[in-house]
Amino acid sequence: MNSMHLYERLPLFGTGIVLGVWLVVVHALMLAKPAPVQGFLKKFPRDHQLGWVILAVGLIWFWLLVALPGKGILNSLAMDLGEFNGVKKYLRYVVPLSIAAVGMAVKEFLSVRALGLLGLMAAAPLLEAAFLKDPQSRLLIPIFAFAMVVASLYCVGMPYLFRDAVTWASASPKRWRVLSLAGLGYGIAVLSCAFLFWKGY
């Protein structure tokens, strides 16, 4: 297996494009279709089936990270855990089973907790893509990643705050519009920096 993990080989340019496009699309949709988006976000915390789908994605992602070393496609995300490599074969079964058991036991806000788990895992490749790269503008990606980590921790530990945040954001059309424009502006800034400064990184 390559000494560098796949996350460490992620290009800043490509990562910036993906993140920027995602931010622009999501926030443009929030601006163009506020009522449907707000309706979805208000129902999301109680959507148990969607919670299971998101949880499954997170579990598959984790399972690939703790895969045993190899050359197959299922081993492409295998991560070196150092002195804990010996427990990989146990983690591959114990952790998914534990999380699945929690998913069956937790009836409240499962989708929000699962989203928090996914957010925590998604932060790692973002941070690796910008790690020790020259352009100072690269900090747009770590800033977003750390904000996502904090939000994800709250989603996992205090999921009812997601509902409260949605209620607060959607309480005023002006507030919703300002938040949407801020996210859209951030996405445009990331895309602009990717095309202007991040090529070759």
Number of domains in the chain: 1
Residue 60 lies in domain: 6-197
Whether residue 60 is contained in a domain is answered as: yes
pLDDT of residue 1: 44
Residues in the chain: 201
Contact 21, 79 (CB under 8 A): no
pTM for this prediction: 0.88
Whether residue 136 is contained in a domain is answered as: yes
Q: What is the spatial distance between Cα 116 and Cα 110, in angstroms, rounded to a whole number?
A: 10
Q: What is the spatial distance between Cα 110 and Cα 124, in angstroms, rounded to a whole number?
A: 22
Whether residue 1 is contained in a domain is answered as: no
Whether residue 192 is contained in a domain is answered as: yes
Residues of the chain below pLDDT 50: 1-2
pLDDT of residue 81: 73
Q: Which two tokens stand for residue 176?
A: 């919703």
pLDDT of residue 74: 66
Whether residue 91 is contained in a domain is answered as: yes
Whether residue 131 is contained in a domain is answered as: yes
pLDDT of residue 71: 67
